[in-house]
Chain A
Amino acid sequence: KQEVTQIPAALSVPEGENLVLNCSFTDSAIYNLQWFRQDPGKGLTSLLLIQSSQREQTSGRLNASLDKSSGRSTLYIAASQPGDSATYLCAVRITGANSKLTFGKGITLSVRP
């Protein structure tokens, strides 16, 4: 059974800091991995999608990496801003299954001005 873990559950950093959010998964047979952002009381916004054959994806100040063999992904946020404060969720799709997602519990990020 696939399990996705995100540690720590919460993180507080000063504005301008570069930071890394970690995600680990137990079954390396994944089809792809997706990072989402969730603001309080809101839905999920897709940030980056990495296919299993890829090592990383970039969008603006965000960079996500994937290491299937070790069961890890990282989301790198450069020059953090208060507007980046949100919960960041990691989710994986399993190879051979339908396209349902298995989510971690998320990391709640607070960027202090």
Chain B
Amino acid sequence: NAGVMQNPRHLVRRRGQEARLRCSPMKGHSHVYWYRQLPEEGLKFMVYLQKENIIDESGMPKERFSAEFPKEGPSILRIQQVVRGDSAAYFCASSPPARWTEAFFGQGTRLTVV
């Protein structure tokens, strides 16, 4: 049973480009969470999704950021018109519906904006 898979592991974008980060949850998991870890900061919650639904996006920046978790395929975190301040590690976690309070984390995507 593979763990939470995130790709790419490293992503370099120029200012103004778009970044798309993908997360495939563990098999049988229907809950996905995205967190961001800025340099010298702790992990901050961004968004919580279930299949085809955004449950809580209280941690998402109001502009340029969006997330989806379609019926088929991975969850996508999309950042439009990236700026240097978006450089961070982005982590995805998933949990099963029966034990929804325990989350399992992926290895993260490290985004660098140049």
Residues of A in contact with B (beta carbons under 8 Å apart): 4, 31-32, 34, 36, 41-46, 49, 89, 91, 93, 98-106
Contacts and interface: CB of A to CB of B under 8 A. Distances in A.
Contacts, number: 55
A6 B44 CA distance: 15
Contact of A101 (B56, B100, B103): B103
Contacts of B45: 100-102
Contact of A43 (B48, B56, B95, B107): B107
B102 to A, nearest CB: 6
Counting contact residues on chain B (CB < 8 A from A), the size range is 20 to 34
A42 B43 contact: no
Chain A's interface: helix, strand, loop or mixed, by majority? strand
Given A98-B55, A99-B31, A100-B48, A43 B42 contact: no
Contacts of A93: 101
A101 B104 CA distance: 12
